[in-house]
Amino acid sequence: MASPLRSTSLSAPSVAAAVVYSAVSSLDSTIAIVTDARTLAADELVKDSPRLVALAQASEAASLVGANRAGALVNLLVPAHTLVSLIPTLRDLARQKSSVVVHVPVSSADDVSDVLSVRDAGCALIRSSSPQQAVDFALVAALSARKLSTPFIHCFDGTPPSAAISVLAYEPLAAQEQIKEFVPSADVAKSSAAKEDAEEAPQKTPAEITYETVAQAMLLFDERYSPVSYAGAADASLVHVTFGAVIRSTTAAAAAAQSKVGVLQVSLYRPISHAALIAALPKEATRLVALEQVTRQPTPWGPLLFDLAALLHSAQWDADSARARPVLIDAVSQASPSAFTAEQLAKISAHAGQFESPSHFNPAELVGVHAEQTAAAAAAGDLSKLSLDEQQKRVEKIPYGQLLRDLFKQRLNIANAASSSSIWGDAGKADSNPEFGFGQLATYERSRSRLIQAVTALLRNVNAPLSRGLHSALTSWLSGKDDAAVASLDAAQEIGRLLLAEKANHPEIEAVHALHNHLALRSNWLIGADEWAYDIGSSGVHHVISSGLNINMLVLDTATYPFEAEDKGKQRKKDIGLYAMNYGTTYVASVAVYSSYTQVLQALVEADAYPGPSVVVAYLPHSNGVFSSSYSPIEVLQQSKLAVDSGAWPLYRWNPAFEDSARRFQLDSEKLRRSLEDFLKRDNALAAIGAETPALSAAIDSSVERKAGTRLASKARGDLANLLGGLSGPPLLVLFASDNGNAEEVARRVARQGKRRGMDVRCLSMDEFDVDELPFEKTVVISVSTAGQGEIPTNGREFFKNVLSASINLNETEFAVFGLGDSHYWPREEDAIFYNKPARDIDRKLAELGGKRIIDVSLGDDQDADGWETGYADFEARLWGALKIDVVAGGAEPEEEHKRTDEENKVISNYLRGTIAQAIADTSCGYVDEWDGKLLKFHGTYMQDDRDLRAERLARSEEKAFSFMIRVRLPGGVATPEQWLAMDRLADEYGNHTMKITTRQTFQLHGVLKRNLRETMRGINRALMDTIAACGDVNRNVVASANPHQAHLQPEVAKLASDISAHLLPRTSAYHEIWLDDKMVAGGAEQTSAVEDHEPMYGSAYLPRKYKIAIAIPPENDVDVFAYDLGYIAILDDAQENILGYNIVIGGGMGMTHNNKKTYPRLASCLGYLPKDKAVIVSEKVMLVQRDFGDRTNRKHARLKYTVDDHGMDWWREQVEERMGFRFEPARPYAFSRNGDRYGWVPSVPGYQNFTMFIQNGRVADFPGNPLKTALAEVAKAHKGKFRLTCNGHLVVADVKDEDVPAMSALLAKNGLDNLNYSALRLHSMACVALPTCGLAMAESERYLPRLIDLLDKTIDEAGLRQDAIVIRMTGCPNGCARPYNAEIAFVGKAPGAYNLYLGGSHNGERLNKIFRETVTEEQILEVLTPIIKQYAVERNDGERFGDFVIRKGIVKETFEGKDFHDQ
């Protein structure tokens, strides 16, 4: 039944593109397949006809597709014979995930062969079998390409349709809605995954995802369509398999023959879905007949047979024990399967049913179809009629020789016999004479060189009487002499005719004519067998390589796999490819036609195009019994695949023509041999490649020879373990990959339970274990968490990469996998594929390698009531139930030591000492352990690593690029010029030559190495600053208004900040002992004896989490006072001259966790008013309530804001008042107007002025063209006042005397520091550090926000809003360091390049924003924000801020309470 989308209102089909590029010579009815007037582009229907652009040749496609890459779907219409030349383009499209459909009309077996020749180019391949299908499948390919971001090749019958075509009409709204439901938006179209069920998607392979997407698209047009369809007997014993071709009257044929016959039509041929094929095939099938329409195939068997062989030897097939392995029969002819009648099919079926082993026959010859073509087909006929010797020669000579003939046709010149033992030929034979072999080709090259010289001289001779036609022809030839299209045989014949007519006119014309036989560019080849590799000198291989001539060598290696070690007494075979690459000027390729047909084609084309010697080493395994019952043709395929998969025969191409070293070496298979790895590392002409070895992925890490010894040792250990199993208990290997420790905790629990059961347990991170040792492990349990967009955690990436590319046999290994993830982390339905993806991928791959599942993959979900614990409880019960190993009575292993908690770590640290002193004295590594790392935060430093270098370091088995961030305790953000210069010097001496002005109103250094920590700390203290309590579970740096309107009050709030900071400072002397040798240099803490240390306020466990304090003076809220645990809002007298006291607010905080609604940002709530003399004491009492009642069991719930919501404000007020001994007064009125900084010159106290400069994201560094750090050092040397750092990351040059203002202004102007000509959007922007140093970052922030603002500024300028301030902030993770959740526009990182978008915070920081879009990319951000910004410009009320506007317009809901933050 046809889909309701189908109508008959149009007479031509449609395809989803606004432009069609055609390289088909005649614009006949075949063009109609892809040029209908009603088309779908981007997310809406296009009313105008698509633009048809004719191409002179198909090679123009690459540049045109690239030019349109940013636009909608692009269609190409190309002849089949051009596909081989487009292989590089097709591979680029696949690599770039381009939404391109290549339509190919086919009308003969030659055309089908051309289509199949590019089946491995990385594109999806679909074939239609009728005029109506051609119409519909064109759209199926278009919609699928859009949705999957995958290029499609659609081949269809190129002959004019004989019947009317019912086509898809886009007129009705219903059609538009259904199409949009399939491809909802351009955003989804560019997503790499289809919509999948959250529980099933992660286990699906790309082939299965593509299959389901295409199947869904097909159903839009006809309910009978399917990528793989079966017709015939339900219990058929013989099944014909075709590539998209329909066999007429299949059921009638089966009935007529009274036999069980069926037909499997594969319309979606790439990627091929094994699951779909298995589901469609009857279980009773005992014979599969590959009914193939191809010609000129280079192998004795057609491509479809190869895929069926792979299917029958797949893990999916083996998993169904009820299925037998059918006999494979290859039925290859030039006739289309659709040409066979029912009776002919019955005859073919009966003939195929006689074979008991893999066989080959020509069905067209059998039934008399296309009799005139059978003679040509006989060249690839029934191999069973050939002698073993003839069969052997066929295998050796057909594949690569046929490819050369197909590719180069009349240009091909093979200069020696294929069986020659040298490049010269065999002694005693005619082809050994000098005119044969290398001598012949060398003579040709020299003659052609003389021809080029002669033509050049002739054209330069103005006296030579050349006709206009000959002059033009020779000029064109000379410019394109190395281009086969220009120097073609036809062009050479035409020039030869002109030369013959004019040679008598001048001696130089006659000289050119004498050499005219060399006008055509030939493809010169020498073909040899593997004996050429035994003596490279004697065989002449060395002569060709060193000659530099444009000669190509094809060397066949016919060794069987596995390769046996050669006897020492025999000659040793040499690696010709490796030998040739050492010259650095020879094109080299290693190919295997039975592994990657497309790669062979590309290598031969590149070798021919390379202007110098080329060596193509081709694998062709054989045996004397190649077609015997013990060694079938399928085994040749299997040997080739195994040799490539194992790395014994790597597929690669080395092209010295590329100047870019990264492109010079292309690895086309997964593994390299050790010899090639060593070659790439050597210091020779390939040194540039050697430096980029990590880019070779698993190829380098999986070298075969390097791991052979390890495998043998592992096997020995496995045998020993089996022998001693009765003594030590059954073995158990537990592996984990964990970023936050949860997956490691799961692994530890499994290990403990294993020990309790008497098992011999090992527990390791994944990257500590060699994948090649897995076959020697009996029982393996894996625990893996999910990072970012379905990524593996850092300490499992190498294992994960290697296991996915492994070809090991796990038949003796049983396994179980537990995954930890968040099912709501990627909320869109199509992104459900990322949920627990690493666990699902590992589980699937281990099963494919033959491993036996103990239980199905189990998943822990953060969304469950107990988080991952819920899933783990079920996993643990099922695991031990399946293993049936009970706890050992009376002899259980002791429980593993309880993992230390953060609270325990503080208590046992001896007041923050731990083993820090020993750790920083250890120069053998650049890091400290987890527990010292946690304690170091209390001392003001975090351990980090450069994440830009992490993967490279890991690939080289080196430790991460560890360094330390140091944060200064700087109450109120006030520093002297001398302190600025001290920090500037320390940044250069010990840091990464930059400083960060943080959102905590202080200095931060990055890149300090462990060995320099102590000296850096001492340098800070010598500048009369310190770092104690700048981080950690204590009161941190106290911030205060930096540049209030009431300038005379700033010193008062700065002093209050300093007083509070000193009052709440930890009393431990550990800081001074570790960093300063107990010498008090700076800071106001009362020091106690190092022998009897104590903490009178904090106690030995300190606080549950950090404690932050801010002080604001209305109307400026530049500190964002509501974002802190404790906030002071200054209340002034009526004259606005004096501070009377403060409204006290508590419970603010920005941090949360994505998709965990139990965590949320919160703005502080007011306790009441206190006079200013009570300001210091209230900070202590609020802290003590949090110390005593804060959550110490769950750090995600440990901030003061959760304690406020848990107990309520009335309870809090009572608790604080009880500790203070007096009550709060009612809150007093105040008003905030903004939370940004005041830029430029503003008055300070009488006689002084302040200048606030914009420092983008607080980063002080010397940038190209903007030496900011150097300029600020020059300012510090001249400045006589103070510097004030702001909570927005900017700098106030404060207290400049009026008489010094002109000089300072000139200095600022000289260094470009007075430039405030930025948009107000940029001036109110802020970003956290994020990548590359922050270990929590999920996306870029500081490095990316400036670029995003560049893009948004275009919209801002167009809308006329350049001077209108909008607060915009970005963080790389949800922890909120840049205070994003009260900004008017905010971006919170979720994965590389993906952010949650929040709107609706207030301009003065008193309202939370609300999520507007989840997981948006740059393109989507611009798409979403542009219309809102323009709407704001047009529809806002007078003085209305952007955040207020989006609330009034209902774009997002107004939100003040943190508990309402996640409500929509």
| 418 vs 413: CA distance, rounded Å | 12
| 523 vs 544: CA distance, rounded Å | 15
Print the SS3 string covering 439-463.
Answer: HHHHHHHHHHHHHHHHHHHHHHCCC
Tell me which of 1328, 1407, 1410, 1441 is the catalytic residue: 1328
- Partners of 667 in the β-ladder: 652
Which token pair is 918? 């020993």
Tell me which of 1377, 1379, 1410, 1441 is the catalytic residue: 1377
Tell me which of 967, 1162, 1234, 1441 is the catalytic residue: 967
Give one word for 673, left, alpha or beta, with left for phi > 0 and alpha for psi -120 to 50.
Answer: beta
CA distances from 1281 to 975, 985, 1244 (A): 9, 20, 12
Largest CA distance in the chain: 123
Name the strand (E) or helix (H) holding 79.
none
- Nearest residue to 232 (alpha-carbon basis) of 211, 268, 269, 259: 259
- Partners of 852 in the β-ladder: 814
Tell me which of 653, 960, 1000, 1106 is the catalytic residue: 1106
- Nearest residue to 846 (alpha-carbon basis) of 910, 773, 774: 774
> Is 1334 among the catalytic positions?
yes
Which token pair is 79? 């002849």
Contact assessment for residue 391 and residue 627, using Cβ atoms and an 8 Å cutoff: yes
Tell me which of 1108, 1201, 1259, 1407 is the catalytic residue: 1108
Name the strand (E) or helix (H) holding 1124.
none
Summary count for the chain: helices (H), strands (E):
49, 52
Contact assessment for residue 817 and residue 784, using Cβ atoms and an 8 Å cutoff: yes
Helical axes 1200-1207 vs 1209-1220, angle rounded to 10°: 110
| 1365 vs 1442: CA distance, rounded Å | 9
> Is 1377 among the catalytic positions?
yes
| 1082 vs 1076: CA distance, rounded Å | 10
Q: How far is CA 642 from the centre of its chain?
A: 28
Which token pair is 1310? 């000289």
3-state secondary structure of 1189: helix
- Nearest residue to 17 (alpha-carbon basis) of 40, 49, 38: 40
What phi and psi values does residue 611 have, to the nearest 5 degrees? Answer: -85, 60
Q: Which amino acid would we find at residue 756?
A: R
Between strands 652-654 and 665-667, the pairing is: antiparallel
- Nearest residue to 1341 (alpha-carbon basis) of 993, 970, 947, 797: 947
| 225 vs 239: CA distance, rounded Å | 20
What is 1053-1114 written as a DSSP string?
HHHHHHHHHHHTS---SHHHHHHHTT---S--PPP--SSS---TTT-TT--SS-B-EEEEBT
Between strands 941-945 and 962-967, the pairing is: antiparallel
Which token pair is 414? 């093979």
| 375 vs 371: CA distance, rounded Å | 8
Which token pair is 538? 């004697």
Tell me which of 1334, 1379, 1390, 1441 is the catalytic residue: 1334
> Is 1036 among the catalytic positions?
yes
Q: How far is CA 658 from the centre of its chain?
A: 25
E strand map for 277-340: 287-293, 327-333
| 458 vs 522: CA distance, rounded Å | 23
Which token pair is 295? 């010609």
Tell me which of 1373, 1390, 1410, 1441 is the catalytic residue: 1373
In this structure, what is the dihedral angle of CA atoms 1455, 1457, 1460, 1462, given to the nearest 10 degrees?
80
> In sequence order, what are the residues at sequence separation of 6 or more whose Cβ sits closer than 8 angstroms to the Cβ of residue 984?
995, 1269, 1272, 1273, 1276
Around Cβ 1270, how many Cβ atoms within 10 Å? 12
> Is 1373 among the catalytic positions?
yes
Q: Which residues are catalytic, by number?
A: 967, 1036, 1106, 1108, 1328, 1334, 1373, 1377
